[in-house]
Structure 1
Amino acid sequence: MGIMTISHDYNAKEDVLAAQMSTYGHEDEMQSSASVSGTFETSSFAQSEPSTMAPTVGADSHDIALPAYACAYCGCSSPQSVIQCTVCKRWFCNGQSGARGSHIVIHMTMSHHNSLALHPESEMGDTPLECYKCGNKNVFSLGFVAAKEESVVVLLCRLPCAQTKQNPEWDMEHWQPLIEGRHLLPWLARPPQDDEMVSGVPGMKQISDLEAMWRESGQQAASDGRKIGNVDESGVEDAGVDAVEALEPVQLVYKDGFEYQRTFGPLVEAEANYFHRVKESKILKEIKVRWSVGVNKKKMASFILPSYEFAEFKMAVGDEIRLSHEAGPELDAWQDSGYVVRLPGPSTEELTVQMRSKDAPMHVQQGFSAELVWKSVPYDRMQEALKRFALDQKSVSKYLYYKLLGKDQPAETFDVELPARLSVSKELELNASQLNAVQTALRNPLTLIQGPPGTGKTVTSATIVYQLCRMRRSGKAKDKAKDKAKDKAKDKAKDKAKDKAKDKAKDKGGKDKGSTRKPPPVLVCAPSNVAVDHLTLQLARLGLRVVRVAARGWTCDQEEVEKCSLDSVVARTAGGRLRRLLRRREETGELSEQEYREYTSLVRAREAAVVARAEVVCCTCVTAGSGQLPGHWAACTVLIDESTQATEPECLIPIARGARQVILVGDHQQLGPVIGDPRVRSLGLGQSLFERLILLGNTPVRLEVQYRMHPGLAEFSSNVFYEGSLHNGVAPELLPGSPWPISGSPLMFWACFGPEELSSSGVSYLNRTEATNCFKIVSRMFSAGVSPEQIGIVTPYEGQRHFISSYMLLNAAPDIADALQHVEVVSVDAFQGREKDFIIFSCVRSNDFHQLGFLRDPRRLNVALTRARYGLIILGNPITLSRDRLWASLLHYYRDRGCLVEGQLGRMRVCSVRIGAPAYARPGPRAQRYQKSNYRESDTATLVSCDASVLGGQENNPWPTIDQAERYSYARKGNYGDQEPDSDDQEQDYGDQEQDSDDRASRSVIESFTNKFASEFTF
């Protein structure tokens, strides 16, 4: 099935279809992409007469009996316009509600459904919508191609079936998706007339409330949907929705800890409920499992996620997955769970799960089901921290308590004797702004350090921790904070003897040498394991006693970090009975019930002893609330790296362990925490603690010398996001030459005009034109001698990330196929904190409505622009992007430098499209402009402080036309900052990532790339 015969009416539509598809063939910028196909036999595209059952406008829908197939949103009942969602069995029409698309598309994106059936009386009849070759029924992946000679079309999915060129009868170059502009193509379902929508055109608020009702009830009758016209705009009478409506927004100032907890607690609960629903709704069926045994003798289950399911089945290493198999001839009903240990990537399409038990049915490979297991642990620990903050006076110092509430407090500092030299070594010599940050952090109970891209915040954080430990060793740290009550010192004196006895106690599993009374370890945290591992590595190399505490089952590929893990240290230092139990467990894989209880008790005692002896404990913010850190253990000093990527309740977990000194490191001009529930996000849970403290008037210490980027790459971000304060630690003459349109400007914006498409998930986007051009650029880079490890492709959308990866592998020539597997294709969010020599940034969004989605987030743009060291290529539609004033500023910046180009590689020309007005500087520091009591989403939109003169325009002077701009000197010298870097610092990279061990070789390759690749960008 899936082949549709086209009548002569199809030819009448041919011009329209050709216009829609012409973009794909424009200047050879587009090749058809891979998809799976199904075929249909079509009769006619003539519009049907309105259904006789549809009432006129203004009729009361409650007085009319509507058929069962009427649209659940608007009541339209024309067979030519309605389509059934085969997942929930409800019917929807192809009518539009605002810019969000047609009713059927809105329903699928909001409910995560993706398979449809046409009405039996429609023009197409009940022909199934599925891929002709592989049977894929995901309508977001489906498109059609026409036969070259016959009047028929065939449905193929985008990947991989539409990529194959095996059938010469089909016009594969002009594959067209079934959903365009968030509507089904009109020849599948005719958009209804206004008078056919019996209940009127519903608003998005009404539709959202109705979908929420269906999710809550689970079995809500579809007939209730026809009452949508009478839903109150203020909300629906539904307990679940009312609970969300009753949530309070985040405030800047709180009366006390109880109000603080009452505000954040429900928001955390709502966010947890959202992810609970999302995760448990994802089930994969009929998967094929490949069984193996790991080096730890655990059973490993590996399986391939279908391409059209991958974007929806999101997971991370450490997530729990439940595998099951129904009873059959080869196997009784079976079920077990395990943890994800490997995700699909460039080198493998398989997902690998380490199973818990040993009784895996390794003789069976087919017929398994997989589902994500929901875990509320992170949210439970946030709630515990909120309660501790509200109820326990010892959770934080008095000073920090009031500062976190937003109350004004007299300035307070510690009386400490700072070392004469703060830099740890000559190799890690600090610049002036880094020295200022270290000094401020050591002297103050609360410090905010803003680290723009490439300014060495990891080195700064490691130096702070090293000096804290060093001062504690020498006994020079004297805490004279005013919040320390005098009676507390007396209590310590009374308990001194008891504490000494406890410190000298030895656990039964081994000796604890040197257990004398000393300050607790410095607690170093970050939201992600990657950031924690990086800090652990840096601190361990400085010679500190570091313990890496992680969730059970965590593993690290870096041997130095693994040696610091709590499990590794416990195993190395165990003695006596614990050592024997560990050996038996490793050899046999099991212990008796009594032995297991004894083993657990001894391990916990040993873990507590190891943590007590450490100078530094590193863990994620969530793990800071785990039982691996003793409940009575207080962390006097807490440093949180990447704090702007964590929610405030997440940061509170380590802080509420008795903090007296807090150091927050981050950058509020880069991406913040990920919030799933849109309503919770709008109420402010996505605002970080770092950002709220800035809004309250706390000025961060900014690191101001960047060592990552070529000055030409850093200029725009410095002027727009950091008030032009960033200086360059490497002079441009020390960098390799650049193969770009204009010498001295290692950047290029390649204008691409191919349309965006909904990805297979229905909630993300892709752009096949940009994916094709990414592949062309990477291929040319390979031929010029650039290694795959030097290249990074970033994009805001998961759909585009997956499509680019698959497209390049499917179309790769044999000689570069292996190399392509080592080219990283990641989302902008996942690439924050990292860098590559060359970055290709695919913007994706390209539509007639000028909708940019979260491309409008200035923080996401800042991250994307600051990942490259030597060169940046942006692919995007300047017409769509220029409707946003910040993007217009960027486009003017590129155009004024001759770097906004279009055409094909080798035949580039200056792009002459009209660009909108740019953004201009907004006066006044951000913290002074937002003194409000409650959170509003507009308040925390990242401030963009543009310098109009730097960007090329003035308030009273229009931007130059393209003809004027072409007469300018494109190769003008850039302003690389007022200060010259110290000679010792010029060649040192203090960014987040380490330099390649042989930087000269890297530069040699880039020089070669310059000579071979520059000719591609001729005008």
Structure 2
Amino acid sequence: MDNQDNNLYETASQPDTATDAYTFLEFNTQGESDFDYPEFRSPVAWPTPSDSLGATSSAVDPTSSDHPNSGTQGVVEGLVASIGGLNFEETGDDDGYEFGKGDFTEHACRYCGVSNPACVVRCNVPSCRKWFCNSRGNTSGSHIVNHLVRAKHKEVCLHKDSPLGETILECYNCGCRNVFLLGFISAKTESVVVLLCREPCLNVNALKDMNWDLSQWCPLIDDRCFLQWLIPSEQEQLRARQISAQQINKVEELWKTNPDATLEDLEKPGVDDEPQPVALKYEDAYQYQNVFAPLIKLEADYDKMMKESQSKDNVTIRWDIGLNKKRVAYFVFPKEDNELRLVPGDELRLRYSGDAAHPAWQSVGHVIKLTAQEEVALELRASQGVPVDVNHGFSVDFVWKSTSFDRMQGAMKTLQWMKPVSVGRYIYHHLLGHEVENQTVRNALPRRFGAPGLPELNASQV
């Protein structure tokens, strides 16, 4: 019995095809063509998505193929080729909202990109002419109101494709274009609405006698936003680019030096560099000077830019001669249009471009007085060649002086090099923010303070 068991295991481990029934079946699974799948071995056989629809015409016909699975292969190739032939194109609906990219709409909002003609208005100042929408976005006021306030502009114009057409918003009675003074008013019997300014036309008695209901006057700008018929739809606000108040401040400052700048320019290196912040305490005068010197330079550049931008053209001149035999030019320089105020002693440059009878001329003078009629009296330094027979077509420019800023820079350099010797040890440490003991000056003060020819000081003046 043991011999039979041994023979059995020996047959299983070493089969004898001639005498034993326990043999393994031998099939050639790697050599028959019925089980051959060449498409899984060769990457060339796989179709790519870039194949065109014409690949279906060259697909293998399952009836003429020697492989049983070639029909399935042809179907797969046809489907892949069909999908690859589909063209997915951009509709281009968002072109107006990608500011600075692609075909940007000219009348799109310079902040967010909204370009609906019924929702945008143009700043009508000749040096600006930018378009803004009436949506708020992430700010408390609308974009057009934000721009008007920060740029100190007051005139706007509607789009030509808007319901009211290309219209400049102005007062019906006096023609005032200050949108912050304008409001709507309707007739009592007719369905007519006009724009009327708050001062002075709303209080004019002549208008009260007309068929206007003055009690129904409402401002054009309410809650930092223009009226409802200018507000964009909710869908346009959601699709618009989101901009923060900080970005608006930066781009408005950038427009003062580069009117064609975009929001993308804020990302350029060096544009958004902030100066070193002011500290409460400083180690020494070197650190103090390194912090304040760049700030004084920035203030000087800003003051120079603001003064040089206050030029006025087409100024009418009234000529006169002063007691010192110098020429004096009188002209009106509107205060409401200037951030800077003229004071006696300011230097101005008076220019004339010339004509057929007079050559080009310019001269520098200083303001000697300001009349009650808002006239500026400018005394010229040179009286030779003054076109006194011409009264129109002059230009006035500010002459910027760096005297005050040069003195500040010089004082800091003196403090840096001489240190306590220049101002005294107590003042020196106080400027740097160091803790020092208060010094008490013990002197016998007089009971009465006065000077010859002057009244005595009272108790509050001592």
Matching of residue 95 in structure 1 with residue 95 in structure 2? no
- The corresponding residue for 1:348 is 373
CA distance in 2 between partners of 1:237 and 1:248 (Å): 19
Letter in 2 for 1:214: W
Equivalent of residue 268 in structure 2, options 221, 231, 237 = 237
CA distance in 2 between partners of 1:360 and 1:72 (Å): 45
How far residue 169 of structure 1 moved from its aligned partner, in angstroms, is 3.3
Assess if the C-alpha contact under 8 Å between 2:448 and 2:456 holds in 1: no
Question: By percentage of residues, which structure has more helix?
Answer: 1
Matching of residue 126 in structure 1 with residue 161 in structure 2? no
How do 1:110-125 residues align onto structure 2 when only pairs under 5 Å count? 110-125=150-165
Matching of residue 317 in structure 1 with residue 344 in structure 2? yes
Assess if the C-alpha contact under 8 Å between 1:54 and 1:198 holds in 2: no
How far residue 75 of structure 1 moved from its aligned partner, in angstroms, is 1.1
- The corresponding residue for 1:373 is 399
- The corresponding residue for 2:115 is 77
Letter in 1 for 2:329: A
Change (3 A) 1:332 1:401: same
- The corresponding residue for 1:40 is none
Equivalent of residue 105 in structure 2, options 61, 64, 67 = 67
CA distance in 2 between partners of 1:134 and 1:327 (Å): 34
CA distance in 1 between partners of 2:455 and 2:399 (Å): 46
Residue aligned with 1:303, SS = strand
Letter in 2 for 1:320: E
Letter in 2 for 1:296: N
How far residue 251 of structure 1 moved from its aligned partner, in angstroms, is 2.3
Change (3 A) 1:149 1:289: farther
CA distance in 1 between partners of 2:388 and 2:193 (Å): 44
- The corresponding residue for 2:258 is 217
Assess if the C-alpha contact under 8 Å between 1:93 and 1:104 holds in 2: yes
- The corresponding residue for 2:48 is none
Change (3 A) 1:62 1:295: closer
CA distance in 1 between partners of 2:319 and 2:356 (Å): 19
Change (3 A) 1:155 1:360: farther
Assess if the C-alpha contact under 8 Å between 1:339 and 1:354 holds in 2: yes
CA distance in 1 between partners of 2:440 and 2:255 (Å): 55
How far residue 372 of structure 1 moved from its aligned partner, in angstroms, is 2.5
CA distance in 2 between partners of 1:155 and 1:209 (Å): 34
Matching of residue 398 in structure 1 with residue 425 in structure 2? yes
- The corresponding residue for 1:109 is 149
- Percent same amino acid among aligned pairs? 36
Stretches of structure 2 that go unaligned for 5 or more consecutive residues are: 1-90
Equivalent of residue 226 in structure 2, options 180, 184, 205 = 184
How do 1:738-757 residues align onto structure 2 when only pairs under 5 Å count? none
Assess if the C-alpha contact under 8 Å between 1:293 and 1:300 holds in 2: yes
TM (normalized to structure 2)? 0.67
Assess if the C-alpha contact under 8 Å between 1:165 and 1:172 holds in 2: no
Q: Please list the CA deviations of residues 696-715 of structure 1 after superposition, one character each: whole Å capped at 9, or x if unmatched.
A: xxxxxxxxxxxxxxxxxxxx
Change (3 A) 1:334 1:53: farther
Q: Please list the CA deviations of residues 28-66 of structure 1 after superposition, one character each: whole Å capped at 9, or x if unmatched.
A: xxxxxxxxxxxxxxxxxxxxxxxx98659xx97788754
Equivalent of residue 301 in structure 2, options 273, 295, 299 = 273
Residue aligned with 2:411, SS = helix
Q: Please list the CA deviations of residues 860-910 of structure 1 after superposition, one character each: whole Å capped at 9, or x if unmatched.
A: xxxxxxxxxxxxxxxxxxxxxxxxxxxxxxxxxxxxxxxxxxxxxxxxxxx
C-alpha root-mean-square deviation of aligned residues, in Å? Answer: 3.5
How far residue 97 of structure 1 moved from its aligned partner, in angstroms, is 4.0
Change (3 A) 1:324 1:115: farther
CA distance in 2 between partners of 1:218 and 1:200 (Å): 20
Q: Please list the CA deviations of residues 908-934 of structure 1 after superposition, one character each: whole Å capped at 9, or x if unmatched.
A: xxxxxxxxxxxxxxxxxxxxxxxxxxx
Higher-RCO chain (CA-CA 8 Å, sequence separation at least 6): 1
Number of equivalent positions: 363
Equivalent of residue 361 in structure 2, options 330, 334, 337 = 334
- The corresponding residue for 1:294 is 322
Equivalent of residue 279 in structure 2, options 251, 267, 275 = 251
Letter in 1 for 2:122: Q
- The corresponding residue for 1:385 is 411
Change (3 A) 1:369 1:162: farther
Q: Please list the CA deviations of residues 646-670 of structure 1 after superposition, one character each: whole Å capped at 9, or x if unmatched.
A: xxxxxxxxxxxxxxxxxxxxxxxxx
Change (3 A) 1:419 1:81: closer
CA distance in 2 between partners of 1:364 and 1:293 (Å): 15
Change (3 A) 1:315 1:348: same
CA distance in 1 between partners of 2:361 and 2:219 (Å): 40
CA distance in 1 between partners of 2:339 and 2:446 (Å): 55
CA distance in 2 between partners of 1:328 and 1:134 (Å): 34
How far residue 383 of structure 1 moved from its aligned partner, in angstroms, is 0.8
Change (3 A) 1:301 1:60: closer
How do 1:856-1005 residues align onto structure 2 when only pairs under 5 Å count? none
CA distance in 2 between partners of 1:197 and 1:340 (Å): 54
- The corresponding residue for 2:456 is 428
Q: Please list the CA deviations of residues 775-815 of structure 1 after superposition, one character each: whole Å capped at 9, or x if unmatched.
A: xxxxxxxxxxxxxxxxxxxxxxxxxxxxxxxxxxxxxxxxx
How far residue 139 of structure 1 moved from its aligned partner, in angstroms, is 3.3
Change (3 A) 1:350 1:62: closer
CA distance in 2 between partners of 1:64 and 1:126 (Å): 26
How far residue 413 of structure 1 moved from its aligned partner, in angstroms, is 5.9
CA distance in 1 between partners of 2:137 and 2:290 (Å): 37
Change (3 A) 1:299 1:367: same
CA distance in 1 between partners of 2:238 and 2:386 (Å): 54
Change (3 A) 1:69 1:411: closer
Residue aligned with 1:407, SS = coil
Stretches of structure 1 that go unaligned for 5 or more consecutive residues are: 1-51, 432-454, 461-1019
- The corresponding residue for 2:382 is 357
Change (3 A) 1:313 1:329: farther
CA distance in 2 between partners of 1:280 and 1:249 (Å): 28
How far residue 127 of structure 1 moved from its aligned partner, in angstroms, is 2.0
CA distance in 2 between partners of 1:157 and 1:329 (Å): 43
Assess if the C-alpha contact under 8 Å between 1:76 and 1:197 holds in 2: no
TM (normalized to structure 1)? 0.33
Assess if the C-alpha contact under 8 Å between 2:116 and 2:232 holds in 1: no
CA distance in 2 between partners of 1:172 and 1:374 (Å): 50
